[in-house]
Structure 1
Amino acid sequence: MTEERAGYRRSAKSPRGEARRRELLDRVADDLGANGLVDFSLRRAARAAGTTHKVLLYHFDGPEDLLTQAVLQLRERRITRAVAASTDGPPDRPLADRVRSMWPGLISEESWVLDQAIGLAMYDAGRYADLARSASQQYLPALLSICPPGWSDDRKHEVAHLILATLRGFLIEYRTSANQPAIKAGFKALLRALDREEAAT
């Protein structure tokens, strides 16, 4: 890395540079949420952000990095909505009810792009594997937070992984076949299992 380029990167990490980076990322994430991953490019991202591709390359390490960061941003929005729904209500709200309330946020308008991202990670793991790996790292803390506080850490992790894997399956079904009766039936089974797990406390 040249001395000049290194200076640029240090400037990009300054408080002002970080604020500008977040602003650009928000705009690119908004574009992804509206238009999806197909035909994503630095040129399209620059138009959405109201800047040039050179400015984006100043703040991000190439198109893959920008795409990954924008997907992470969209996923964080999705998780925030889902957690807000799950924590609304009395503190002793059953776990099954909390999980049920998360579903509308998981299938909200811009969420289809996140399911596209998982597909992209499976299709081209060499370039986009982090899009899938990072999903668990983002979702698990939220799911752990809604487990009953008296549970052991091991038990919370077991149940959180069960919820995450099952909801991912429902999302694939929702996006690929829109088989609502099948999803509804599967959801009932998941909620019964969570009720039994919580009753065994």
Structure 2
Amino acid sequence: MGFAADEAPKAGYRRSAGSPRGEARRRELLECVTEDVAANGLVDFSLRRAARAAGTTHKVLLYHFDGVEDLLRQVVFKLRARRIDNAMAAAREASGHETLAARIRAVWPTLLNEESRLSRVLDQAIGLAMYDPERHSDLAREASRQYLPVLESLCPAHWSDRRRREVAEMILATLRGFLLERLTTGDAPGVAAGFEALIRMLEREEAAGG
């Protein structure tokens, strides 16, 4: 997977942080670049490609962002937020969503059926973190920081903070594994069987009380 990092921020570039007008412009640029990445993926992502997508120059992007890796992190964050919003909407709209197991069952189809381009980009981001952890480990760490609080919020309110975190960690790791298995092997029946086992495990965890 190619990833250009030849445009490090230059000394002397002024940052737009703190200015309402500058912040609005930064959000506008970020939205343009995010849509480009959603459509075309992360392969050969660079500051110059991002500038073309935003209709500006790479120097303008360096005024608003701290280099190509900062821009990449913010793009991936926005795309993950989109995935989370879709999943939480499904959880809220599902009937019988009073249990954790039912909520996870409602969320799962959105992860399987979400726009393939979005899923591909987020998989590529995790791939970058695995391929070059020295540069891109934040892409994986920030994924957990985004997903875990959401999964904890789906757990029963009377559970302790520790128990919610433990179960959320287990759900996140298991669903990640299922998605990777489906992507790499195409074994949809096997993934479906594993998911049903996860649901039964969550039902037993809730039935245990506490």
- TM-score norm. by structure 1 comes to 0.92
- 154, 162, 166: which one aligns with 1:158: 166
Are residues 1:25 and 2:25 paired? no
Contact 2:94 2:106 in 1 (8 A): no
What is the CA distance between 1:102 and its match in structure 2?
1.3
> Which amino acid letter does the alignment assign opposite residue 128 of structure 2?
L
Shift of the 91–97 alpha-carbon distance from structure 1 to 2, 3 Å rule, reads: closer
Cα distance in 2 between the residues matched to 1:184 and 1:89 = 19
Secondary structure of 1:149 counterpart = coil
Contact 2:152 2:165 in 1 (8 A): yes
User: Structure 1 vs Structure 2: percent identity of aligned residues?
Assistant: 64
- 181, 186, 200: which one aligns with 2:194: 186
Greater Cα offset, 137-146 or 87-96: 87-96
Are residues 1:14 and 2:14 paired? no
Query: What is the match of residue 56 of structure 2?
Result: 51
Cα distance in 2 between the residues matched to 1:120 and 1:41 = 14
Shift of the 106–35 alpha-carbon distance from structure 1 to 2, 3 Å rule, reads: same
Are residues 1:198 and 2:206 paired? yes
Contact 1:33 1:111 in 2 (8 A): no
Cα deviation per residue 1:77-124 (whole Å; 9 max; x = unaligned)? 111111121122468622112112212332411122101110110000
Cα distance in 2 between the residues matched to 1:164 and 1:47 = 36
How do residues 100-179 of structure 1 correspond to structure 2 at under 5 angstroms?
A: 100-107=105-112, 108-109=114-115, 110-179=118-187
Greater helix proportion: 1
What are structure 1's unaligned runs of at least 5 residues? none
Shift of the 100–89 alpha-carbon distance from structure 1 to 2, 3 Å rule, reads: closer
Query: What is the match of residue 80 of structure 2?
Result: 75
CA RMSD of aligned residues (A): 1.7
Contact 1:96 1:191 in 2 (8 A): yes
Cα distance in 1 between the residues matched to 2:190 and 2:19 = 50
Greater Cα offset, 16-25 or 157-166: 16-25
Cα distance in 1 between the residues matched to 2:156 and 2:191 = 25
Query: What is the match of residue 7 of structure 2?
Result: none
How do residues 60-99 of structure 1 correspond to structure 2 at under 5 angstroms?
A: 60-89=65-94, 93-99=98-104
Query: What is the match of residue 44 of structure 2?
Result: 39
Tell me the matched-pair count: 197
Secondary structure of 1:196 counterpart = helix
Shift of the 157–117 alpha-carbon distance from structure 1 to 2, 3 Å rule, reads: same
Secondary structure of 1:159 counterpart = helix
Cα deviation per residue 1:145-166 (whole Å; 9 max; x = unaligned)? 1101111111111111110110
> Which amino acid letter does the alignment assign opposite residue 53 of structure 1?
H
What is the CA distance between 1:30 and its match in structure 2?
1.2
